Amino acid sequence: MNPYELRADVESFLYREARLLDTQRFEEWLDLFTDDALYWAPAGRDDIDPTRHVSIIHDDKAAMGRRVKRLRSGFAFAQEPASRVHGSSLTSRWRRHPATETIAKSTA
């Protein structure tokens, strides 16, 4: 993949992820993540050590799944009716790691 193709690939992934959340396709959204995924929203600052400092969200994939299940339960009252959300990606940066990895950073 050349750099232009890589950029298009990364950006379309980020847009797809936001779109799935915006349209409440939570199960498909969950499927985007590998089993060792970590969904982390640091609290206060973004340079914290999450084993010593509280976070807003620090979910492994099982916890992410439990959130999806709860949202689908019909009893998640803070989301009854559901929030209308609109994801946006302001910037994205990425670099290719040796071998097969690509690291992407996006500011939303």
Partner 1 sequence: MRPAIDQLIRPGAVHRSVYTDPGIFDLEMSRIFDTTWVYLAHEAEIPEPGDYKTTQLGRHPVIVSRQPDGEIAAVINRCRHRGPTVCENEFGNSKYFRCPYHFWTYRSSGELIGVPSREAYGSSFNKETMGLQRVARVDCYQGFIFGSMSQSGPSLREHLGGVARFLDAYVDAAPGGKLALFEGSQKCVYQGNWKLQMENGVDPYHVGALHISAVTPKAMEIYQQGGGCVIAMDGHGVTDHTDYGPMPLDASLSGGFNLVIFPNLIVLRSQIRTIRPIAADRTEIHTRVVRLEGAPEDVNLRRMRDQEFEFGAAGTFFTDDLEIFERTQYGLQSSAVEWLNFSRGLETEQMKNGYLTGDITDETQHRGLYRNWLRMMTAEQEARA
Instruction: Summarize as ranges the residues that interact with partner 1 (CB under 8 A).
Output: 41, 43-44, 48, 51-59, 63, 66-67, 70, 73-78
Residue nearer to partner 1 on the CB measure, 39 or 94: 39
Residue nearer to partner 1 on the CB measure, 45 or 86: 45
Residue nearer to partner 1 on the CB measure, 9 or 59: 59
Q: Which amino acid is at 7?
A: R
Q: Which amino acid is at 41?
A: A
Residues 58 and 50: beta-carbon distance below 8 Å = yes
What is the smallest separation between the CB atom of 22 and partner 1, expressed in angstroms? Answer: 18
CA distances (Å), origin 27, targets 33, 43, 107:
11, 26, 24
